[in-house]
Structure 1
């Protein structure tokens, strides 16, 4: 800016005094004065204050307006191995203020995660990056209605980003075409199934029975609809089939060794086994 407070339109003049901007003991930029002649005795004091203000602005509002983030910084935020100081610094560099909550979302979609991030959180701050086989979205707030129809998402609940990321991944495992967006808080006790080792699930007779049913996609879809609705008539409506067609399919499924759908206990076992099978195949 010029001495009269207007924006300078010409090329910059040589800097008479320069002071680095320091954030978390790292130099992230500089502020300077373009004064003709010798520096004023108070120039350095003025620039010290300006550098502090610039560092505070970067810490609070972040360096970028894009939702795309450096995957290394995002991984540092959600990693369970990160210490809190490193996590806090990565969040600041991504543009999240220390007093803002951070929601972690795991997404699976053909769309890039930064585009999804812009839809579920149109205003800043929000950052997104691909990580391993899924996308990660970090946001101060979330609008679940903003998720496109073809996106599966799991939303973590914990205040700690590391724990919230694990919750988001677990919730994503429960996402289906019928219920594509899952909040971890809404899972309740079924979330405990994610803590079971894969080998234990594979050795379970009920899960093995679901594996046999899965060989026929129509049978699997019918079983899933019945487990979801708890009613043959609602399942028929969901599948756009006659009630008699659903009944015949369930009768056929009931002949599979290990699956008994005639009583509530058998239906409960089938539902738990179906969920465990999905977790194995996620």
Structure 2
């Protein structure tokens, strides 16, 4: 499916987007996603609130993955399922893939309802928007005590499933496989993000840290532990990857050579030692330092500037790839 999507992208963009929708929901279903995960996925894909009514209970999620609780429901498109209905809440004319998203959502919800497996229990256990009593019931289905210490592991959706409860979850960074580590000695599939080890009733916190850690992996560091991120984890959790901060935008505008120079300037004790590390003349690096200060809007070697650079560099790695590709600000 992924190969077919790639081949069709250049030939027929609309058709490739349709196949991407199908592939997206197939991945969720294959990973055992439950109703909440499927609705979050539909909301992310469509960019509007997605909802479902099942056994007289209504559940709605926003594109940011948050539960929507207001009483006004605008069902622009709706589809009947075996146990109720699903819908999208778009104001204005429907988008090209709305019908396909709704169709695949309905099919996936029916499939999830048919199997009601432990994977959906894990999804509920790590959902911060789910009521505490529902998360407790989910942990009971997984035979995990609320005070047991666990750690969530984030890996690619296609990564081999470990010998532990696992499911595929939609996140603001795309689909990610979640694995509940009960022992602390699971063999890791790289790349992997490790959440902090917490009591099971705080599984959503561990999962959020694991997702951010996974996003920060790279070939040089294929496994990242959220506890190593320290206080920057709080900043990363608050960051919205689709609306980059001005400091992130400024850093993203730099060409690769300038980005390397500013990194070495920040890491070096002096401009002279930075010049030696870069193999450049001191006066050239000094001039580059001054131009970079103007481009960034701050001196990256000052105390405050150093902190701003470190934060911007971290958040740049969390920024939505679609923005990085489509932004007119970037110089390639």
Shorter-chain TM-score bucket reads 0.5 to 0.7
Which one has the largest radius of gyration? 1
Structure 2: runs of 5 or more not aligned: 1-116, 322-332
2:279 to 230, 233, 244: 244
State the Cα deviation string for residues 57-113 of structure 1 (Å, max 9, x = none). xxxxxxxxxxxx743222111111333333233223334355632222222x36425
Residue 137 of structure 1 and its aligned partner are, at CA, apart by 0.7
- Contact between 1:154 and 1:172, CA under 8 Å: does it hold in 2? yes
2:191 to 140, 148, 151: 151
**What SS class does the counterpart of residue 202 from structure 1 fall into?**
coil
RMSD: 3.9
Distance 1:263 1:83, change over 3 A: closer
Structure 1: runs of 5 or more not aligned: 1-68, 119-125
CA distance in 2, matches of 1:170, 1:199: 11
CA distance in 2, matches of 1:112, 1:71: 16
Residue 246 of structure 1 and its aligned partner are, at CA, apart by 11
Pairing 1:73-84 to 2, within 5 Å after superposition: 73-84=121-132
Is the counterpart of residue 276 in structure 1 residue 315 in structure 2? yes
CA distance in 2, matches of 1:259, 1:100: 46
TM-score of the superposition, structure 1-length normalised?
Answer: 0.53
- Contact between 2:299 and 2:305, CA under 8 Å: does it hold in 1? yes
Distance 1:85 1:199, change over 3 A: closer
**What SS class does the counterpart of residue 170 from structure 1 fall into?**
helix
**What SS class does the counterpart of residue 134 from structure 1 fall into?**
strand
Aligned length: 193
Pairing 1:1-282 to 2, within 5 Å after superposition: 70-97=118-145, 100-107=148-155, 109=156, 111-112=158-159, 114=161, 117-118=162-163, 126-132=164-170, 133-143=175-185, 146-148=187-189, 150-159=190-199, 160-198=202-240, 202-204=244-246, 206-213=247-254, 216-220=255-259, 223=262, 243-244=278-279, 252=288, 255-256=291-292, 257=295, 258=297, 260-281=299-320
